[in-house]
Structure 1
Amino acid sequence: MAKKALLTCTLAVGVLIGPLSTAGWTAEGLAAGDGRARSGPVGVVETRAPLNVRERPTVYSDVVKKLHPHERVLLVCQKRGGWVDGNPVWYRLHGSKGWVSARYVHNLQPVRPC
């Protein structure tokens, strides 16, 4: 009886986690120029307006580009920087040499420290 319950529970978890996997996602900036996919933590921009990508992890740094709402991006690492709405964490973006506030990007996997 316990084995059957464990198997049922394991299958249910597999069904729930399977669709949440990011393996099949593609987004601007997620593929390398040489055709090979880059791996790393994926983040989703959680704003209603374009999100500024900064040169350094502070709101006083120059804007190098903007990200669109709900855009998926690759995150290289995280570090503490200037506080944004109570959150001091900033993510380094892959390929753009820029930083975004973690306040506005939801990380879908753990992000290593810089």
Structure 2
Amino acid sequence: MLKPTRTILALATGSLVLGLVGAGAAVADDGDNVPPREIVVGDGQPGTYPDYKHAIGKVVSKGPLKVRSKPTTKSRSVGHVYPHRKLEIECKKYGEKVDGNRIWYRLYDENNENNNENLDNGMDAAPNRAAYEKERWVSARYVKNLSEVKYCR
């Protein structure tokens, strides 16, 4: 009589653990009910990336990684990146903790660099402000840096 009870308890415990692991994945993608667009680096084809000017990282999340407008999970989602994709990382900064990791990576955006060059050339500062509002951040918890990442200024 004891053996079936132990078996049932072991199966119930295993199911509970597997259910909680699945719930953890669901929490990582909190869903904004807005279909996010994929952030594509290079030409979008895995394994065919151009020479990078900045640090490189690889997405190691199990599902699509949300790209945020600020280094916090409460900020607006501006897209997502699929697992195993490479990212061009401009710099890193401390932000909200994600699974014990406070570092966030700002993704390189060619448009932001062009706006900064315009500012250096004496053009209006308004484009630079617009570029700041379009920053793209990902939690370093789900990105493995493949080269050294400098801190943001």
Scaled to the shorter chain, the TM-score interval is 0.5 to 0.7
Q: 2:70 aligns with which of 56, 78, 85?
A: 56
Q: Pick from 19, 31, 41: which aligns with 2:55?
A: 41
Q: Distance in 2 between matches of 1:37 and 1:46?
A: 21
Paired letter, 2:82: H
Equivalent position of 1:88 in the other structure: 102
Q: Separation in 1 of the partners of 2:144 and 2:96? A: 18
> In structure 2, what is the equivalent of residue 6 of structure 1?
none
Q: Is 2:68 the partner of 1:30?
A: no
Task: Look up the match of 1:24.
Answer: none
Q: Check conservation: 1:30, 1:37, Cα contact below 8 A.
A: no
Unmatched tracts of structure 1, length 5 or more: 1-27
User: Alignment length, in residue pairs?
Assistant: 83
How far 1:40 sits from its partner (Å)? 1.3
Percentage of pairs with the same residue: 41
CA RMSD, aligned part only?
1.7
Q: CA deviation at 1:37?
A: 4.2
SS of match in other structure, 1:64: strand
Q: 1:79 aligns with which of 62, 73, 93?
A: 93
| 1:102 Cα offset (Å) | 0.3
Matched, 1:99 2:137: yes
Rg larger for = 2
Unaligned 5+ segments in structure 2 are 1-39, 44-49, 110-133
Per-residue deviation at 1:30? 3.4
Q: Deviation string for 1:17-44 (max 9, x for gaps)?
A: xxxxxxxxxxx4237xxxx844111000
SS in structure 1 at match of 2:141: helix
TM-score, normalised with respect to structure 1: 0.68
Whose strand fraction is larger, Structure 1's or Structure 2's? Answer: 1
SS where residue 57 of structure 1 aligns?
A: coil
Give the CA deviation at 1:97. Answer: 2.5
